[in-house]
Structure 1
Amino acid sequence: MQPMNKRLLTVLSAFLAVSLLVAGCGTKDDKNGQETAKDGQAKVLPTDSKKVVAEYEGGKVTEGELNTYLNILALFQPQMAAMMESPEAKKEIVKSYIAEQMVSERVNGKKYEKQAEESLKEFEEQLKQMPAEGKDKKKQDLESYLKEHGFTKEQLKDFLEKNNKVSAYFEDKVNEKDLKKQYNKSDDFYKIKLRHILISTQEDPEGKKKKRSDKDAKALAEKVKKELEDGKKFSELAKKYSDDPGSKEQGGEMEGTPDMWVPEFSKAALKTPIKQISDPIKSDYGYHLIQVTKREKQSFDKVKEQMMGEKVTELYQAFVKDEVKVTKLDIPGDKKKK
């Protein structure tokens, strides 16, 4: 259930995911992981504390405000809940919270309040469609549902309004002409279907195969290529020889865009003539053989929103890094308080 601006959620998720990984927080369940309630939602954090956990030029953040923000994030981004509880993670989330406060103060306009109200209505409609939970199987009203998750309707509306402002603020800084220039220069928007065989030089994680030398891997790749050129089926040889678990059982078939693959592989996927078997392609993983079956560049209209989201995320991260100056940081449980 996601009534919020989809792009902004992507921005927040991307920023927080990168920040939390940098902070050394994983997704594994551990002593620092946020507890999960029986219904699958993250444990609701208390929001009544007035203790100041952060100060910045122009404002401060209380523990209650931070926990309200965490409760909202945990509801809409449950896959990140396990990352949100450690002191190091909270430091990064505080910066994101402050960034939203700072940006929203720079943006005027009643339309964002209206957008937040529309999102709330959409959220409420989606809630009505959800199956009833609990022993009495009664459907919950919006106020009760939000209260169970640690925040009020007004707090969610404020969150949505600020998020809409943040999204608009950074989108206004993106020039569509610049996006088109980037699109025209980039090969990342090709959609490519191909067949793939990997002859690995890496350790076998299951220990079933011995590690190959570079020389042996190259020789085997050349042998497999000759078999392909002699008419053997790619799918059969992929299942027999390939060390790529992601495509082996599909007969080597895979699909993607160049930005998904290592540079050597991407270059070959873009340049190898359709249906031709490539020469062995060396990468850190070993030697690859590919046969491109289809390659076409997606239209600008299809990728424009993706490009806009990536650019907005980049601008948002730069803003947090360059302009969010925290003068006090006192995160509960943090041994290195500032």
Structure 2
Amino acid sequence: MRAIVRPVWFATTAMGVLAVTLTTHAQAPAAKEAPPAASAPAPAPAPASRLSPAKLTEVLATINGEKITRGELLDFLNRYEIPPENEEQIYSDAIETLVNMKLVSQFLTRQNIKVSEERVTEAVNQLEKQLKADGSSLAQALVESNKSMKEVRDEYSNRIRWIDYVKLRGTDAELKKYAESHKDLLSGTQIRASHILMKVEPTTSAAEKEQIKQKLISLKKDIEAKKITFAEAANKNSEDPANSENGGGDIGFFGLNSGIVEEFGQAAFALKPGQISDPVETPYGFHLILITDRQEKPKVDYEQNKPLILNAYAAELQKDLLIAQRKAAKVDVKPMPNDLFVKAPAPTTAPVPAGATKNAAPAPGTAKPAK
């Protein structure tokens, strides 16, 4: 996977997740480089029905004293299709999402935003109608997700409280200001870039980091002095595993909502075509970025796109909120339990008799079909 895109199976902020209650059809995107299921069967969370109450109440994380149990994690994971391999990353992303949900919930509780029981009941009734339309029922969903009605109502209460908080903060003046300062994001403008990556490991010292930066600065000077082209420098020096031998560091077109690492995207969009950045640090290391093209899109009309602008504003509001909350939060996350995932047996290649139809079972970890 190209070393500027972080593989995230879940929305690691709470945005959107707060709106998901007892849904079994949402699927996380499968890893682009995942091997085929025949060679690497997808892992599935160990079924809750096979676990003892002690296992289900096992504490996997605490956030300011509030617990996340194995049961909560399993309920969350079972909403998604789990891609093969990367169990540690999946666990990390899922726990991070649940931690963020708790932090947002705790913050909203402190804001003392009142939500009437009638509004919660209306939301739960809507859920029940949706489940019936899918051939299921609320009672069945409660059993399958190991949830109580109180937990469902609490989740909807949090969702409504968040919506009210966003509306309180997102005045017309604030949204117009946001739209003006985020034109590229909202319009879908794309740029094409090439980059040179020099990796940094968690164990890399400050002195070694400085040496890497200086090497990139020296490379930039040589490129600008036309001693070497950017493509030649990338082919010779870039440590991005996705950079082919003659790829020149090209990563194609992307937008600010393309899943690009934020530090990389923000630095790239600040450049004009033909410009080369100073060394940019991301979780992968240090990059030199060259912009080779820009596809400008028209500025969005505020009145026609207010819902889009409000959603983008809400996402950034929550990101900033979480950054602030984590600074003061006491978060303790346990290592992934060894028995959290179970591997499905490798598929057999037994021939199907002529005229017979193969009954395809759902892939492990995918949503169960409606009954």
Which of the five TM-score ranges fits, normalised by the shorter chain? 0.5 to 0.7
Deviation of residue 171 (structure 1)? 2.2
With normalisation by structure 1, the TM-score equals: 0.52
Q: Which residue of 2 aligns with 1:171?
A: 166
Matched residues, number: 260
Q: Which residue of 2 aligns with 1:82?
A: 91
Please point out which of 108, 111, 125 is paired with 2:119. Answer: 111
Alignment of 1:66-145 (within 5 A): 69-70=72-73, 72-76=75-79, 82-83=91-92, 106-108=114-116, 110-126=118-134, 128=135, 143-145=139-141
Which consecutive residues of structure 2, in runs of 5 or more, have no partner in the other structure?
1-12, 21-41, 83-88, 202-211, 281-285, 336-371
Residue deviations 1:107-149 (CA, integer Å, cap 9, x gap): 22513311222023324434x4xxxxxxxxxxx7653453233
Query: Which one-letter code corresponds to 1:120 in the other structure?
Result: E
2:276 is the alignment partner of 1:267: no
Cα gap change, 1:303/1:224 in structure 2, threshold over 3 Å: closer, same or farther?
farther
| Partners of 2:177 and 2:116 in 1: CA distance | 31
Which consecutive residues of structure 1, in runs of 5 or more, have no partner in the other structure?
1-5, 14-37, 129-139, 206-210, 228-235, 273-277, 334-338
Deviation of residue 90 (structure 1)? 8.5
Cα gap change, 1:161/1:304 in structure 2, threshold over 3 Å: closer, same or farther?
closer
Paired residues of 2:217 and 2:278 also in contact (CA < 8 A): no
Query: Which one-letter code corresponds to 1:194 in the other structure?
Result: I
Query: Which one-letter code corresponds to 2:143 in the other structure?
Result: K
2:16 is the alignment partner of 1:9: yes
Please point out which of 140, 143, 147 is paired with 2:143. Answer: 147
User: How many percent identity over aligned positions?
Assistant: 11
Higher helix share: 1
Q: What RMSD in Å do the two structures reach over aligned CA positions?
A: 5.5
| Partners of 2:97 and 2:229 in 1: CA distance | 52
Q: Secondary structure at the match of 1:171?
A: helix
Query: Which one-letter code corresponds to 1:110 in the other structure?
Result: E
Q: Which residue of 2 aligns with 1:197?
A: 194
2:303 is the alignment partner of 1:304: no
Cα gap change, 1:72/1:241 in structure 2, threshold over 3 Å: closer, same or farther?
same
| Partners of 1:238 and 1:186 in 2: CA distance | 33
Query: Which one-letter code corresponds to 1:115 in the other structure?
Result: A
Q: Secondary structure at the match of 2:297?
A: strand
Residue deviations 1:132-183 (CA, integer Å, cap 9, x gap): xxxxxxxx7653453233224x245414432333223312322132111122
Residue deviations 1:264-316 (CA, integer Å, cap 9, x gap): 432214xx4xxxxx144332335433222412355141433211232255457
With normalisation by structure 2, the TM-score equals: 0.49
Query: Which one-letter code corresponds to 2:164 in the other structure?
Result: Y
Deviation of residue 331 (structure 1)? 11
Query: Which one-letter code corresponds to 1:289 in the other structure?
Result: L
| Partners of 1:98 and 1:78 in 2: CA distance | 29
Cα gap change, 1:12/1:196 in structure 2, threshold over 3 Å: closer, same or farther?
same
Paired residues of 2:104 and 2:322 also in contact (CA < 8 A): no
Query: Which one-letter code corresponds to 1:308 in the other structure?
Result: A
2:299 is the alignment partner of 1:292: no
Rg bigger for which structure? 1
